[in-house]
């Protein structure tokens, strides 16, 4: 779960924990202090008796930093120490017959410290535990991870999870600062990312228009947003990959590229009349003046170019 604001993260965590406790599950949280401090009153507001559930061994509130220190060796998780600590707690709860859900911010803490290698290794260690034990795990990350990490690392992070929840800003679409001429953004593989991609392209073209002092043709802007949408949807639906959008503007053309770390290539398909999907790259081919798919180490880049025609003076 990627989040833009801490109150949103706490609200989602409280719903997740309260749902588990109400269903008779055991719940383990391993959170940073600012979220842990806010979680307790949020649970009480949902009718949860926090102290009673802790006393009865159904709720465990652990500190992310302190728990990390029990198995981190030279910045890297020690698999045996992790299994002895966190794994033993989960195993004991499984043996008691309770279903278990956990919420952890140890990976996010490592990432915030710049230890991306350790963060990805810890996610992999959680997955190895899940091969042998029965539990659900929610991993909250600040959306800043998407700005700080490149496509490769964000893609690997997303691939280590079963589902990805997009930041709330994907739906609300607040303005963001973009550079005139070249704009990039990394997105997670969630349906909301398609709309967020359209907004990024529109912002990039508006910045380019202001820089030139000339209004871009409205049809060109609409076409650029359309091809970006289709390429982003292709990354989410077919590649199931985090992706990076790049918008390059020049006096003669607008080029929109979507890079992902999914396998294979992107090919145009001609669907049947009543098919509900599968026409994305056909639309790109019809709308763009040029398009293509370049295979690169670790993934691919799907791109489309639209010619900038006669401008209208502001």
Ramachandran assignment for 4, one of left (phi > 0), alpha (psi -120 to 50 degrees), beta (any other):
alpha
DSSP label of 70: T
pLDDT digits (tens, 9 = 90+) for 123-141: 999 999 999 999 999 999 9
Block mean pLDDT (10 aa), the chain, length 314 = 94 97 97 96 97 96 97 94 96 92 96 94 95 95 87 94 94 70 93 95 93 88 96 92 95 95 70 50 93 93 91 50
**What distance in Å separates the CA atoms of residue 104 and residue 29, rounded to the nearest whole number?**
6
128 plus 16 within the same structural domain: yes
State both tokens at 80: 């045996």
201 plus 123 within the same structural domain: no
Tell whether 217 is covered by a domain: yes
Q: What is the CATH number of the domain that holds 97?
A: 3.40.50.300
Other C-beta atoms within 10 Å of 150: how many?
12
pLDDT computed for residue 274 by the predictor: 43
101 plus 15 within the same structural domain: yes
137 plus 213 within the same structural domain: no
* Total domains present in the chain: 2
39 plus 108 within the same structural domain: yes
Tell whether 153 is covered by a domain: no
Q: Which domain holds residue 298?
A: 174-313
Other C-beta atoms within 10 Å of 222: how many?
13
88 plus 205 within the same structural domain: no
Count the residues in the chain: 314
245 plus 304 within the same structural domain: yes
pLDDT computed for residue 166 by the predictor: 94
101 plus 55 within the same structural domain: yes
209 plus 127 within the same structural domain: no
Tell whether 169 is covered by a domain: no
Element (H, E) at 151: helix 151-159
290 plus 198 within the same structural domain: yes
Output b/e per residue, 270-286; b: 16+ Cβ within 10 A: eeeeeeeeebbbebbbe
State both tokens at 112: 């915030």
186 plus 292 within the same structural domain: yes
pTM (2 d.p.): 0.86
Name the domain boundary from 119, 142, 165. 142
* Secondary structure (3-state) at 271: coil
Output b/e per residue, 111-141; b: 16+ Cβ within 10 A: bbeebbebbbbbbebbeebeeebebebbbbb
Give residues with Cβ within 8 angstroms of 137, minimum separation 6.
101, 102, 103, 104, 126, 130
């Amino acid at each position: 779960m990627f989040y833009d604001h801490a109150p949103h993260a706490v609200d989602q965590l409280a719903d997740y924990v309260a749902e588990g406790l109400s269903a008779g599950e055991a719940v383990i949280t391993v959170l940073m202090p600012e979220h842990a401090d806010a979680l307790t009153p949020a649970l009480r507001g949902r009718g949860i008796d926090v102290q009673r559930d802790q006393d009865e061994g159904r709720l465990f509130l652990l500190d992310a930093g302190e728990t990390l220190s029990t198995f981190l060796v030279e910045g890297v998780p020690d698999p045996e120490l992790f299994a002895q600590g966190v794994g033993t707690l989960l195993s004991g709860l499984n043996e008691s017959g309770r279903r278990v859900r956990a919420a952890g911010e140890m990976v996010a803490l490592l990432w915030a410290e710049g230890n991306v290698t350790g963060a990805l290794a810890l996610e992999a260690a959680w997955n190895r535990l899940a091969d042998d034990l029965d539990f659900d795990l929610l991993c909250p990350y600040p959306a800043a991870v998407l700005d700080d990490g490149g496509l490769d690392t964000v893609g690997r992070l997303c691939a280590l999870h079963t589902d990805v929840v997009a930041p709330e800003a994907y739906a609300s679409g607040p303005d963001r600062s973009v550079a005139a001429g070249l704009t990039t953004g990394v997105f997670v593989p969630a349906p909301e990312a398609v709309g967020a991609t359209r907004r990024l392209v529109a912002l990039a073209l508006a910045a380019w228009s202001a820089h030139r002092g000339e209004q871009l043709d409205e049809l060109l802007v609409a076409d650029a947003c359309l091809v970006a949408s289709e390429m982003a949807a292709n990354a989410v639906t077919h590649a199931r990959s985090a992706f990076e959008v790049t918008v390059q503007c020049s006096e003669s053309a607008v080029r929109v590229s979507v890079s992902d770390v999914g396998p294979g290539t992107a090919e145009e398909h001609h669907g049947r009349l009543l098919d509900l999907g599968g026409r994305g790259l056909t639309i790109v081919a019809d709308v763009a003046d040029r398009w293509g798919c370049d295979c690169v180490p670790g993934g691919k880049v799907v791109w489309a170019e639209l010619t900038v025609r006669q401008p209208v003076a502001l």
